[in-house]
Amino acid sequence: MPTAQPAGPSPELIFETLNAYQRSAALRAAIELDLFQAIGEGPGDVASLARQCRASGRGIRTLCDYLTILGLLAKEDGRYRHTPTSATFLDPRSPACIASMARFLGDPGMTAAYGRLAEIVRKGGTVLPGQGSVEPENPIWVEFAHGMAPMMAPLAGPLAAVVLEGLAGPLRALDIAAGHGLFGIEVARQNPEARITALDWAPVLEVARANARKAGVDDRYDLLPGSAFDVEYGGPYDIVLLTNFLHHFDPPTCTGLLSKVHAALTPGGRAATLEFVPNEDRISPPIAAAFSLTMLASTAAGDAYTFRELESMYRAAGFDGITAHPISNSSHTVVLGRASV
Amino acid sequence: MPTAQPAGPSPELIFETLNAYQRSAALRAAIELDLFQAIGEGPGDVASLARQCRASGRGIRTLCDYLTILGLLAKEDGRYRHTPTSATFLDPRSPACIASMARFLGDPGMTAAYGRLAEIVRKGGTVLPGQGSVEPENPIWVEFAHGMAPMMAPLAGPLAAVVLEGLAGPLRALDIAAGHGLFGIEVARQNPEARITALDWAPVLEVARANARKAGVDDRYDLLPGSAFDVEYGGPYDIVLLTNFLHHFDPPTCTGLLSKVHAALTPGGRAATLEFVPNEDRISPPIAAAFSLTMLASTAAGDAYTFRELESMYRAAGFDGITAHPISNSSHTVVLGRASV
């Protein structure tokens, strides 16, 4: 079902696309049933799995076959076992498990909008109330902070390395829309003299604070509750992180925010965004480019911006030396700008 | 997004699977907006498409980019055009257009069940009321008869050729669960002395009757309204067609029905099922094997049966000489049995 694209006309591609929603449902159901834990514990035959998951044999066999077709399980001699992907990222016993993101990505408030996608395309923006997903205090962001942290964790190291390159000694960093806080926390880990200010809505900051404590950096971790558009940033900061944030807004709003960031930076200070950045063709790479649809469906005017678009926002806000740093083995890119001196 | 399966662990595969529901939504929205007709009419730039579809530029650009990632459109120099697949199967001006199946495959009564898939796996069958999709007089089958006919039409010729091979002269055929009627109608077209009896619920038979009239075979086309399990078949028949039907029921029910079919056949008469028939591994080919999940979610005890399972039902009902005939360029297989003499 990861099928190669056929050269000729393919009714199968259409049939599979119309049924693709079943893939999401199958993976969500398997996570809910603790199936990937049961697979990891073995022995992987239908009867054992049904017992472990307290489910029917018919249901387990059908679900496991379907997940095997998707490449999320393997099957041999009637037994199911992990693929490298499911062992690493779906078995809760793995430290890299990202199964928790099923909750955020499957949040009914977000997914329901897709039932009205034609209307959204007509209108040119979300049909969710107000500003959509970025409506103030939307509880979805607490879910994001919890659920998406494992998916974001591997990006924190590379992001912090890019941001800190050539910087040593005491510094101050502002982490805007901190969420789980992992990015600012990693800056604090890589530089023991860094002091972090985490900005987000108050309920979300509770998640970040707990993560900072777990990482042992809470003595250098300050909280700044509120909206990135409204609160005074304080400062000046040597570094500002703006991760997974700009894509929610239109270019003028992004430029305005980047100007506010610029004003809070020391001369030569660095602003780093972490984003899905599609190529200028807007159709590659697939995951980054496809993210535009998520922004269409869930925001009033957001987008997955190309590097050229981000560069032009940065410039308009007073930055220069703007560079793109794709993170390897991921679909994310760090875009770095320096506050003009 | 038709992505190759990576060798190593891939968080992207999990992210894409959890978001796969957006693919179905995007294709449905494009069909609803008449986008594929607009693409065919040209010139394919965002402004023209937005005007033709009465939609926003932002929405159209994002949707077209997303469909391009899926392989359902092509993009060059900022203009969108058809792929071979969309030209043939999604542009309403094409005689092979199958866009109508979006309605049946996207029927909210069917798709909603997938929101409760974990519960369905626990239970081992649908959570839809009663018998699920095959609850008597379920209006979904009128939708099927209308919407799925274009997808089924290319299968009718090969099916009729298999069923009629070596038969000439006057014969009678019973088309059980006739739906759109296309299979029985094609038998009547290939054999001008064939007389067809179409069996289905009365509202569905109206669709079949209209199609028979269009094909000019209505003078040899009789209607038998009711349930395949309850009505007297009459006969004897030389041929019985059982297309897209057995997968809704458990093996004993299928065997019982095949016995009733056997009793209505002349000695040596032929019963032909048309099904998604997965290989014995149940994980290939992908479309046929994945159909088991649809049957789990929408029926009390149905399945996509392997040839060995179908063969054993046929045998138990008194058939022999049971053979499989995969239809080329499709995911369907004809299984033929002969009533023992």
Q: B261-293 pLDDT, tens per residue?
A: 999 999 999 999 999 999 999 999 999 999 999
| pLDDT computed for residue A1 by the predictor | 45
Residue B158's alpha-carbon distances to A125, B152, B179, in angstroms, are 47, 11, 18
Q: Does residue B135 surpass a pLDDT of 90? A: no
Please tell me the distance in Å from B85's CA to the nearest CA on chain A: 4
CB-CB neighbors (< 8 A) of B23 in chain A: 17, 20-21
Residue A242's alpha-carbon distances to A2, A225, A228, A236, B58, in angstroms, are 34, 15, 10, 16, 24
Task: For residue A100, give every residue at least 6 positions away whose Cβ sits within 8 Å of its Cβ, in sequence order, or none.
Answer: A146, A147, A148, A149, A150
- Cβ-nearest to A292 among B7, B27, B62: B62
Nearest CA in chain B to A51: B122
The reply to whether residue B24 touches residue A17, judged by beta carbons under 8 angstroms, is: yes
Residue A109's alpha-carbon distances to A103, A139, A140, A286, B13, in angstroms, are 11, 10, 9, 25, 23
State pTM to two decimals: 0.95
Nearest CA in chain A to B123: A56
Task: For residue A216, give every residue at least 6 positions away whose Cβ sits within 8 Å of its Cβ, in sequence order, or none.
Answer: none
Task: For residue B297, give every residue at least 6 positions away whose Cβ sits within 8 Å of its Cβ, in sequence order, or none.
Answer: A22, B110, B113, B114, B117, B120, B126
Please compute the mean of the pLDDT values over residues B190-197 and round it to a whole number. 98
Q: Does residue B80 surpass a pLDDT of 70? A: yes
Please tell me the distance in Å from B326's CA to the nearest CA on chain A: 15
Q: Does residue A4 surpass a pLDDT of 50? A: no
H/E stretch holding B271: strand B265-275
Please compute the mean of the pLDDT values over residues A48-54 and round it to a whole number. 98
- Cβ-nearest to A118 among B8, B32, B295: B32
Tokens 């041929």 sit on residue: B239
Please tell me the distance in Å from A231's CA to the nearest CA on chain B: 31
Please compute the mean of the pLDDT values over residues B124-137 and round it to a whole number. 78
Task: For residue A65, give every residue at least 6 positions away whose Cβ sits within 8 Å of its Cβ, in sequence order, or none.
Answer: A75, B282, B283, B289, B292, B293
- Distance separating alpha carbons of residues A304 and A295, to the nearest angstrom: 7
pLDDT band at A127 (very low <50, low <70, confident <90, very high): confident
| pLDDT computed for residue B62 by the predictor | 98
| pLDDT computed for residue A7 by the predictor | 59
The reply to whether residue A14 touches residue B85, judged by beta carbons under 8 angstroms, is: yes
The reply to whether residue B29 touches residue A71, judged by beta carbons under 8 angstroms, is: no
Q: Does residue B138 surpass a pLDDT of 70? A: yes
| pLDDT computed for residue B3 by the predictor | 44
Phi, psi of A138 (to 5 degrees): -55, 120
Mean residue pLDDT of chain A comes to 94
The reply to whether residue B296 touches residue A71, judged by beta carbons under 8 angstroms, is: no
Mean residue pLDDT of chain B comes to 94
Choice among A1-10, A328-337, B62-71 with the minimum mean pLDDT: A1-10
pLDDT band at B89 (very low <50, low <70, confident <90, very high): very high
Please compute the mean of the pLDDT values over residues A138-167 and round it to a whole number. 91
Nearest CA in chain B to A35: B118
Choice among A134-143, A182-191, B175-184, B187-196 with the minimum mean pLDDT: A134-143
Choice among A155-159, A273-277, B117-121, B132-136 with the minimum mean pLDDT: B132-136
Nearest CA in chain B to A8: B84
The reply to whether residue A66 touches residue B9, judged by beta carbons under 8 angstroms, is: no
Choice among B65-74, B95-104, B140-149, B163-172 with the minimum mean pLDDT: B140-149
Nearest CA in chain B to A279: B65
Nearest CA in chain A to B31: A118
| Total Cβ atoms within 10 A of residue A229 | 12
Could you report the per-residue pLDDT of A209-240, keeping only the tens digit for each?
999 999 999 999 999 999 999 999 999 999 99
Please tell me the distance in Å from A191's CA to the nearest CA on chain B: 28
Residue B175 CA to its chain's centroid (Å): 16
Could you report the per-residue pLDDT of A306-317, keeping only the tens digit for each?
999 999 999 999
Q: Does residue A142 surpass a pLDDT of 90? A: no
Could you report the per-residue pLDDT of A241-257, keeping only the tens digit for each?
999 999 999 999 999 99
The secondary structure of residue B8, as a DSSP letter, is S
pLDDT band at B202 (very low <50, low <70, confident <90, very high): very high
Q: Is A293 exposed, middle or buried (0-12, 13-18, 19+ CB in 10 A)?
A: buried
CB-CB neighbors (< 8 A) of A290 in chain B: 1, 19, 22, 66, 69
pLDDT band at A267 (very low <50, low <70, confident <90, very high): very high
| pLDDT computed for residue B314 by the predictor | 98
The reply to whether residue B287 touches residue A66, judged by beta carbons under 8 angstroms, is: no
Please compute the mean of the pLDDT values over residues B46-69 and round it to a whole number. 98
pLDDT band at B7 (very low <50, low <70, confident <90, very high): low
| pLDDT computed for residue B1 by the predictor | 45
- Cβ-nearest to A121 among B9, B19, B59: B59
Tokens 């062992």 sit on residue: A87
Please compute the mean of the pLDDT values over residues B83-103 and round it to a whole number. 96
The secondary structure of residue B4, as a DSSP letter, is P
The reply to whether residue B106 touches residue A18, judged by beta carbons under 8 angstroms, is: yes
